[in-house]
A and B are shown apart, each in its own frame.
Chain A
Amino acid sequence: MSSLDTAVRIDKRSEPTKPKAGRRTWRLTGDSLFHAAARFAAFLAVAVLFATVVAITFDSWPSIKTFGVWGFLKSSQWDPVTNAFGAFPFIIGTLVSSAIAMVLAVPISFGTALFVAEIAPSWIKRPIAGAVELLAAIPSIVYGLWGLIVFAPAFAQVEPWISDTFGAIPGVGLLFQGPPMGIGMLSAGIILAIMILPYISSVMRDVFMAVPWSLRESAYAMGCTTWEVAWHIMLPYTRTAVIGGVFLGLGRALGETMAVTFVIGNSNVLSASLLMPGATIPSVLANEFTEATSKLYLSSLIYLGLILIGVTLAVRLLAVLLLRRLASREGAST
């Protein structure tokens, strides 16, 4: 009886604090829920990368089983009627169009970045940097449309000159022969170069501007010219990040779909000339995916996608690693 009494009394005494305690635990639960949600979101953002690889491997499994790895990579056949599929022409097409793009875009980006970082008067710096960045904002489908309707006919006027000038050179000449159609491997490479230019040049510009003023000014004080400062001081200092930026552009070029699909001509037969139509992995995916009738056809297309993922993943990994190295060195020096 008395024990019950005390129990009741204790209960009563603690009553006023009870709702407070309840609210506090609720708030703490809400807190840990928020934490858990944030952690889960971070997990999701990361998991997508692995899920992509797994899901696409799974979907391409029928084709992997049928053709194997080497057999698929080196076969040039692409025939939906006989169900014979091989990736070789598309791999070469992807690599060649991206290589053309890099050869054109890297020097142009380098020049643009140096112009903005070193020699442009300040009133013109921002408009030019902004204009080059706007190139990155234009959707790739618009590049494709422009490339097909405007650029290709204009380029067809230049092509006879190209094949006359370079086509006669023994050896290399083979690359520049063919009818002037305006579309083809070279056109695709040029459009790709315009598209990746802003990515490479903005990375270069940012890292050039991050070169410590003391370094540049001591070089100028020694009597160096602008070019010597750029080539012997700024470029060595920023080398890893510059290469990272180049690889970033390469990753873009390899995976670009719409712009290439419009102008490359979409021929599944490999030809030696750069003026002839070709195809890349993304372009054949865009063209044939909705038309793929058999299961093996579809999974072979997805298999092509898997190869593309393998290549671009390696390139992007390298790009991010290189870009981070400069950042961490900068952090250490300050």
Chain B
Amino acid sequence: MNWVIVRRRLVDVVSKVLMGLTTVVGVFFLLWIMWTTLRFGIAGMHWDLFTKDTPPPGADGFGLRNAFVGSLMLLGLSLLIGVPVGLMAGTWLAEYGFRGRTANTVRFINDIMLSAPSIEIGLFAYAIVVGPMGHFSALAGSLALAILMIPIIVRTTDEMLSLVSNDVREAAIALGAPNSVVVTRVTWRAARAGIITGVLIGLARITGETAPLLFTALNNQYFTTNIFSPMANLPMVIFQFALSPYTNWQQMAWAASFITVLFVLVLSILARSLAGRVHVQK
């Protein structure tokens, strides 16, 4: 009898210790990766990174101006493609599709797209843009990134609009507003913080994506703003420079990772603080 109690206690204590240890493992690796990125990233910081373009192989010096501009353009273009589609699709789900069978099928497929491996989307963009055009382009890269962020925006928009109370909609309809006005002037505004959170999360997700760019935007040694040509970008710089034999290139890879991680963290923190406001508003 007593033995049973001892055994149960023992199992309980051991399991609790293990739970604590597993948590420590996760946090340990997070800190290790962050510490490495910070240390090498700060060491690789250089003013020239922001003012000069990437030096040719073997040459001294630093420069990532073309990659910064390229990355920002790629992200901007993805937002231009992804936000309208994601926002409208999420709006259709919440305001027109409701809980119907069609809407639930769309939600189901969207959930599947939510965890699509980025490399597959890259192959898709290659097949429909790079193949027919005959060369790599920033446009194809942005399309791939947009496809990766659309499911995130669709889902948050759908969820956030569903949180808006029906009383608000009915009040607007009672005033004679047609559906589109109810949506654009009333429910979008009520759900604004939540929708922006979704966009920020989507942006954070695609910021460091490298695999799809490998088949689409590729990389460019030179500065360009032409979206129909290959474009320099930070993830590809990390990929190509990290494995190079030149120490200045390796340092630039770390600097690029540091800045990418910093950008993603800022986006995540912004999204988090906005998401906190959603509940206040409700």
Which positions in A face B, CB cutoff 8 Å? 27-28, 30-31, 33-35, 37-42, 44-46, 48-49, 51-52, 55-56, 58-59, 107-112, 114-116, 118-120, 128, 131-132, 134-135, 137-146, 148-150, 194, 197-198, 201, 225-228, 230, 248, 251-252, 254-258, 262, 282, 285-286, 289-290, 302, 305, 308-309, 312-313, 316-317, 319-320, 323-324
Contact = CB atoms under 8 A, between A and B. Distances in A.
A309 B25 CA distance: 32
Interface in B224-261: 235, 238-239, 242-243, 253-254, 257, 260-261
Contacts of A302: 123, 127
Given A257-B118, A258-B210, A150 B36 contact: yes
B214 A286 contact: yes
A256 B242 CA distance: 19
A137 B265 contact: yes
B273 interface: no
A323 B111 CA distance: 10
Interface SS, B side: helix
Nearest to A312: B117
Contact of A282 (B40, B119, B150): B119
Nearest to A323: B111
A146 B33 contact: yes
B22 interface: yes
Contacts of B95: 38
B70 interface: no
Contact of A119 (B16, B110, B117): B16
Contacts of A110: 22
Interface residues of B, number: 87
B106 A42 contact: yes
**A-B interface, 5 closest residue pairs, ranked by CB to CB distance from nearest:** A139-B208, A255-B117, A111-B22, A41-B88, A34-B180
Interface string B66-86: 000000000000000000111
A129 to B, nearest CB: 10
A308 B117 contact: yes
B151 interface: yes
B120 A226 contact: no
Interface stretch (B6-14, B45-53, B164-172): B6-14
Contact of A38 (B20, B89, B204, B235): B89
